[in-house]
Amino acid sequence: MDQNKMKDIVELEHVMRSFIRDFRKGLNEMLGEDFTSSEFSFLRAISENQNQNVSSLASTLGVSNSHATSVMDRLAEKNLITRTRSEKDRRVVVFTLTDEGEEVFNSLDQKREAYMKQRFDSLSQDEIKELLRIFKKL
């Protein structure tokens, strides 16, 4: 690999780290002190597909079962989800959003959408598609 290409890759690394750090900071500020990005991700996953168990949620979100269990415990303590034994297999516990959980998720999702619109406002749709194409290639 030539030196110029390597220099550009190092710069890309720095730019990506900075973007990810700023992006996460903005999302965390949007969520406020009451919710973590993990909790929001789990609320989204449950909202999109009710009655999932810990293993399926962990797999969907690319986290360990123990992390998923920890997040689900916090969401249950906040009365945002319910745990129910599966009728097919009593050993399996499935999760659904409570009415309050649905309201909280919808509110946070609207805030997230506004943040995304603001964050990516400077890019055209073609530029966003190009970023998608490049990242999928990597």
Residue 37, CA atoms < 13 Å, CB-side half-sphere: 10
34-137 — its CATH code?
1.10.10.10
Q: pTM of the prediction?
A: 0.80
CA distances from 90 to 10, 70, 85 (A): 52, 21, 5
Contacts of 46 (CB under 8 A, 6+ apart): 52, 57, 81, 95, 96, 97, 101
Question: What residues does each domain of the chain span?
Answer: 34-137
pLDDT per residue, tens digit, the chain (138 aa), is 788 899 999 999 999 999 999 998 998 888 888 888 899 999 999 999 888 889 999 999 999 999 999 999 999 999 999 998 877 777 888 899 999 999 999 999 999 999 999 999 999 999 999 999 999 998
The predicted structure's pLDDT at residue 2? 87
